[in-house]
Amino acid sequence: LIFFVLLGIGQISAFLGSQSLIGQEAPKEARGSVIGAFNISGAIGILFITTTGGRLFDGMSPKAPFIIVGAVNLLVMLGGLWLRAQEVNVKTVRA
């Protein structure tokens, strides 16, 4: 039971953190649209990975969906780090 409580806390923390960061970075006049697009993208991702994950689970291995999602998350993380490095370089050059 404690595992599921901690899992729920982790999930809501990640969701609220991402909403806060997006709200902070989006321009004021487009903030609602940006958050809406973020939420729709998340819903589409859930629909896609549910369908695809089930097929991978049945067709390849029970581990396959988790490996694929982990690989995609790794790519997103690396892309985010790359963008952050580009932002730091631009600020350094301007200063």
pLDDT in tens, 5-41: 999 999 899 888 888 888 888 899 999 999 999 999 9
Structure token pair of residue 9: 């806390």
* pLDDT band with cut points at 50, 70 and 90 for residue 94: low
Q: Which of 37, 48, 47, 38 is nearest to 15 (CA)?
A: 38
Domain limits of the chain? 2-94
Average pLDDT over residues 36-52: 91
* pLDDT band with cut points at 50, 70 and 90 for residue 93: low
pTM of the model: 0.64
d(CA 83, CA 42) in angstroms, rounded, equals 20
d(CA 9, CA 22) in angstroms, rounded, equals 20
d(CA 2, CA 63) in angstroms, rounded, equals 24
Q: What mean pLDDT is reported for the chain?
A: 89
**Cα dihedral across residues 8, 13, 18, 24: positive or negative:** positive
